[in-house]
Structure 1
């Protein structure tokens, strides 16, 4: 029996860091995220032998315990006392270390896929308990669509999706470590996006309002380390993008555009500037 799961990437409409937690290594955050039509594909085959196998063709992604998909499978098996094994084949389309949640969405796809593969019929809330142990973005990726993630990312509140639009993604030829960025966070020095106004714009399906209120408190930290991000943002704005923001800890920058012709112009303009450029739709 073979199961297929799609694992869509996410973009941050906002990312706010509130405080450093006292009881663990995480920060309390408020992140508004939505999914986009750029996805990895995962294939699951049940094994009689009690082991986890990961196969993928990527020199940047490990196929052992360091892979979040492996970790999710291990946590899932322990949680539900599964003695069978699984072979997971991952077809990577989402850029690695890009701020698009590629590892987290793979982990979420593993949780959904194993629930189907072994016919456990676990409800979303129960699966969410597994996701909470597999990285700060995994809970959102499990729920998908558009949502606010609070705590260290494990508390999910559903939100209305943005109005239909195109998303242009541009990633410079660098990878960014989430840990490296958060190690440099001084909460007192951060600027904070207006999440209340952004949620109101989502509720009103106000595209211009959404473009105005998107924000990322970590952007200045990443930009200081990687000035390429600033150059990409400025180029997108010069090309006429109404809404431009770095996603996650970066380095990918996205542009929200309602008109396909305009989105195509920005896409073409960025292709001369970056090697990795994508033109996709929102899913959330």
Structure 2
């Protein structure tokens, strides 16, 4: 069985407050990308995990894909195992929810492979216990996402745009980025209704008016290359550039496929990780 595990970006990320369990209440506008890992599932006697394409991704129980399989196996007392083979294309530690997307794909696949018969809302509830991005990765699409990531409101008129992605070397710890955010002055939040309207109307040059990632200043203070990546995307024709998630990856929006291709070819010479992709309509 093969499943696509798609990356996501945040068009908006507002931090509404912290919780006693260490999570934060968020208000986000998320969209899937065509960039995806391939997840292959096949019957086995135990849980087995193979990772190809990125040596920095663990192939043991610390991987969310392994944890997702282990959780379902224990919860439903499943006797058989599964071989999970991940072909990684989504950079880890980037804010693209690559690990969560892999875990969501495993939950969806094992629900079928093991005949568990779980509804999507049940899979989301199980996924929430593993990672805050997993409920959205199970739902996908273009959506407003609230709570710690479990409240998902699908939206229509998803924009389909060409993006260039840049990831500085090294990963940013989500926990440390939030700790740094807590010590900084609060930035102006994103106007999500205005942002949604601008995206729907194709008013991409107005995105700077409405879009915000409130974690971006904290990430820049920890990794100045985030700002450099934004600057390089803007200098090469991006009509909008912003960090996704808790970083460190930055995306640039291009109205013209040719401009995106030229920017990608130039920037891939300067940055260790540079990717060309699109937003996905569903």
> Which TM-score band (shorter chain)?
over 0.9
* Secondary structure, counterpart of 2:247 in structure 1: coil
Distance 1:148 1:74 in 2: 30
Aligned pairs for 1:29-40 (under 5 A) are: 29-40=26-37
* Secondary structure, counterpart of 2:180 in structure 1: coil
Aligned pairs for 1:104-253 (under 5 A) are: 104-186=100-182, 189-191=185-187, 192-204=189-201, 206-210=203-207, 212-253=209-250
* Secondary structure, counterpart of 2:158 in structure 1: coil
Give the C-alpha shift of residue 234 in structure 1: 0.9
Residue 79 of structure 1 is matched in structure 2 by 75
> Retained in 2: the 8 A contact 1:44–1:86?
yes
Distance 2:75 2:194 in 1: 39
- Counting matched residue pairs gives 279
Give the C-alpha shift of residue 187 in structure 1: 7.6
Distance 1:240 1:263 in 2: 8
* Secondary structure, counterpart of 1:107 in structure 2: helix
Residue 43 of structure 1 is matched in structure 2 by 40
Give the C-alpha shift of residue 26 in structure 1: 0.5
Give the C-alpha shift of residue 267 in structure 1: 1.2
- The CA deviation string for residues 218-270 of structure 1, in whole angstroms up to 9 with x for no partner, is 00111011111111111111122111001111111101112101111221231
RMSD: 1.8
Instruction: Report whether the alignment pairs 1:10 with 2:5.
Output: no
1:161–1:64 distance in 2 versus 1, CA, 3 Å:
farther
Give the C-alpha shift of residue 67 in structure 1: 0.6
Match of 2:49 among 50, 54, 62: 54
> Retained in 2: the 8 A contact 1:28–1:151?
yes
Distance 1:185 1:210 in 2: 23
Distance 1:166 1:127 in 2: 31
Structure 2, unpaired ranges of 5+: none
> Retained in 2: the 8 A contact 1:163–1:206?
no
Residue 272 of structure 2 is matched in structure 1 by 275
The more displaced of 82-91 and 160-169 is 160-169
* Secondary structure, counterpart of 1:245 in structure 2: strand
Distance 1:93 1:61 in 2: 11
- The CA deviation string for residues 119-149 of structure 1, in whole angstroms up to 9 with x for no partner, is 3332211211111112111111111111122
